[in-house]
Chains A and B, each alone.
Chain A
Amino acid sequence: SAVISQKPSRDICQRGTSLTIQCQVDSQVTMMFWYRQQPGQSLTLIATANQGSEATYESGFVIDKFPISRPNLTFSTLTVSNMSPEDSSIYLCSARYSGYSYNEQFFGPGTRLTVL
């Protein structure tokens, strides 16, 4: 299994500011993802972080609001830009290996963001 860490674990931010969340995986994985979980809700995929190229965003999410980087196979960042209270959520990094034998997808501990 992959061990995933995220920083920060939580933050309280002011409206209009930006926060960058870091995600580190302990081994080289093929795919990394960012999810959002709004209070009391299930998980929604924001984007797939592609190594060395632009992330692939899901409908309703745009690069200007959620820029993502993935400079290598084990590290990715998600920035939540120009925050509003509606961005208050748990943001989760996730990773999986590709290939038939390694389809499990693992999650980090999450970053709990509160925007005032």
Chain B
Amino acid sequence: SQQGEEDPQALSIQEGENATMNCSYKTSINNLQWYRQNSGRGLVHLILIRSNEREKHSGRLRVTLDTSKKSSSLLITASRAADTASYFCATDPLIQGAQKLVFGQGTRLTINP
């Protein structure tokens, strides 16, 4: 079953603008991971943020985590056409022995030139 809900489901912005995607989840987690998927291809791992972390950066990516609200956000700054893809959050639930990621529905991001 899907734990995460992502919002918006689709986002279209102009090149150079910032894109923000949100993810909410239901149960306590070990960590939350963000992935990018270009059309019909495999998932590229972007960032992992642990439950005791509040913010992480990687290049133009910034991820925040609010465990009290059970939510995370992914910010892509200075977007480029190559950022056009679907973005998924995946939670690693805090269930002993589980170690199984549960994926959100994804946000389809389109960067217009």
The smallest C-beta distance from A75 to any residue of chain B, in angstroms, reads 17
A45 adjacent to chain B (CB < 8 Å): yes
CA distance A96 to B30 in the complex (A): 14
Encode B87-113 as 1/0 by CB contact (under 8 A) with A.
010101000000111111110000000
B78 adjacent to chain A (CB < 8 Å): no
Interface residues on B, range: 20 to 34
Encode A89-115 as 1/0 by CB contact (under 8 A) with B.
010101010100001111111101000
Which of A31, A104, A109 is in CB contact (< 8 Å) with B41?
Answer: A109
Which of B35, B40, B92, B101 is in CB contact (< 8 Å) with A112?
Answer: B40
CA distance A79 to B86 in the complex (A): 27
- Majority SS of interface residues in chain B? strand
Q: Which of B30, B31, B50, B100 has the most CB of A within 10 A?
A: B100
Encode A18-44 as 1/0 by CB contact (under 8 A) with B.
000000000000010100000001111
Q: Known contacts A103-B30, A103-B31, A103-B48; is A43 also within 8 Å of B42 by CB?
A: no
Q: Are B88 and A42 in contact (CB under 8 A)?
A: yes
Q: Are A107 and B35 in contact (CB under 8 A)?
A: yes
Q: Which residues of B contact A109 (CB under 8 A)?
A: 41-42
Interface size on A, residues (CB 8 A): 25
The smallest C-beta distance from A41 to any residue of chain B, in angstroms, reads 8
B2 adjacent to chain A (CB < 8 Å): yes
Q: Are B30 and A106 in contact (CB under 8 A)?
A: no
B81 adjacent to chain A (CB < 8 Å): no
A77 adjacent to chain B (CB < 8 Å): no
Q: Known contacts A42-B104, A42-B106, A105-B101; is A110 also within 8 Å of B2 by CB?
A: no
Task: Select from chain B the residue with minimum beta-carbon distance to A31.
Answer: B99
Residues in chain B within 8 A of chain A (CB atoms): 2, 30-31, 33, 35, 40-45, 48, 50, 88, 90, 92, 99-106
Residues in chain A within 8 A of chain B (CB atoms): 1, 4, 6, 31, 33, 41-45, 48, 90, 92, 94, 96, 98, 103-110, 112
